[in-house]
Structure 1
Amino acid sequence: MMKVTQHLWFEKDMEEALRFYTGLVSGSAIESITTIPAETPSGPAGSVKIASFTLGDQRYMAIEAGPLDPFNHSFSIMVECDDQAEIDRLWSALEKGGTVEQCGWVRDRWGLCWQIAPKRLGELMSDPDPAVAKRVTEQMLKMVKLDIAPLEAAARG
């Protein structure tokens, strides 16, 4: 089987970001951080760092190599949470220095987009009764940080 790894480009502060992310998501770890000793197209010797890490069950690579393209919504990290306490914990940590957006999206202080969602949301939106899925979707669209109780109430009608 092929190995697939997401890759993130940081302008600066990659190590700080990775320590934050791996401390936030259970089952995560930084595997390596390497400083490139040679000159690269992105800068002089010692100015570029490469890291490998996991977030939960996903593999990532990261590079700190100065400005390139900023993170945007076309790539986000989605974390499915089992309960509201976990949603609240992640949301609170990610919004510090970042910005919050509708429907469970938050952009952290490094500009990376996250979707913090209850696992239950996918189940409710996949209900075989289209009326249930519609009510849940309409409720979700009214929210910034997702809240399980109103989603469940919307499902019940």
Structure 2
Amino acid sequence: MKHQITPCLWFDGKAEEAARFYVSVFKNSNIKSISHYGKEGYEIHNQKEGTVMTVEFEINGQTFTALNGGPIFQFNESVSFQVYCDTQDEIDYYWDTLTADGGEESYCGWLKDKFGLSWQIVPSILVELMRDQAKAGRIMEVFMQMRKLDIEKIKNAY
């Protein structure tokens, strides 16, 4: 087993669509396998035989499982994925791509994609800048007002 921990993302019928979207967004990504529900267990899972059950996919070496588990659970902000970006162009790309087609912007670099999954699009330099306790407050004051983070404005606050 390559990873001890694999995030499993619960979808209501959109596991394959979501996995294909995520591998299209991130370089070095691919669909590894797709499994389908059989007739066994229908009384529990209520999924039509042949429906996609799970999609195993990989983003930059991290394996994920997308599960069509039904409408019981929904994503919320208590779990998010952080994407660290070296340039403003990267931030713009991920922000624009992940908020497209029904995604939602939030504050401080947070967003929800069209499937309701939360992401944080973060400048890589932010972690380093925030280590300076004397300047961290100014930086935080600036980025807390932003939706999509702006590297130049954050550097200026530093």
* Alignment TM-score > 0.5, same fold: yes
CA distance in structure 2 between the aligned counterparts of 1:141 and 1:115, rounded to whole angstroms: 13
Question: Runs of 5+ in structure 2 lacking a partner?
Answer: none
For residues 18 and 48 of structure 1, what CA distance do their matches in structure 2 show? 12
TM-score by length of structure 2 reads 0.90
Assess if the C-alpha contact under 8 Å between 1:39 and 1:46 holds in 2. Answer: no
Residue identity in the other structure for 1:29? N
Contact residue 35 and residue 48 of structure 1 kept, 8 A: yes
Q: Say whether 1:62 aligns with 2:63.
A: no
Residue 132 of structure 1, CA deviation: 1.2
Q: CA deviation at 1:39?
A: 3.5
User: Secondary structure of 2:10's match?
Assistant: strand
Q: Note the C-alpha offset of 1:48.
A: 4.5
1:140 aligns with 2:143: yes
RMSD of aligned alpha carbons: 1.5
Give the CA deviation at 1:47: 3.1
CA separation in 2, counterparts of 1:30 and 1:125? Answer: 36
| Contact 1:47-1:65 at 8 Å conserved across structures | no
SS of residue matched to 1:103: coil
Q: Secondary structure at the match of 1:62?
A: strand
Distance (Å, rounded) in 2 between the aligned partners of 1:66 and 1:39 = 17
Higher alpha-carbon deviation: 16-25 or 141-150:
16-25
* Structure-2 change in CA distance of 1:38 and 1:48 (3 Å): farther
For 1:119 and 1:57, the matched residues in 2 are separated by: 19
Q: Stretches of 4+ moved more than 2 A in 1?
A: 44-48
Partner of 1:106: 111
SS at match of 2:108: helix
Q: 2:126 matched to 1:125?
A: no
Q: Does residue 15 of structure 1 match 2:16? A: yes
Long gaps (5+) in structure 1: none
Which of 81, 89, 94 is the aligned partner of 2:93? 89
Identity %: 41
Q: How big is the shift at 1:76?
A: 0.8
TM-score relative to the length of structure 1: 0.91
Alignment length, in residue pairs? 153
Q: Partners in 2 of 1:86 and 1:31 — Cα distance?
A: 26
TM-superposition CA deviations, 1:117-139 (whole Å, max 9, x none): 11011111112xx2211111111
Q: What is the aligned partner in structure 2 of residue 73 from structure 1?
A: 77
Tell me if structure 2 keeps the 8 A contact 1:80–1:117: yes
CA distance in structure 1 between the aligned counterparts of 2:5 and 2:98, rounded to whole angstroms: 26
The answer (yes or no) to whether the contact 1:7–1:61 under 8 Å persists in 2 is yes
Report the Cα distance in structure 1 between the residues aligned to 2:27 and 2:39, rounded to whole angstroms: 35
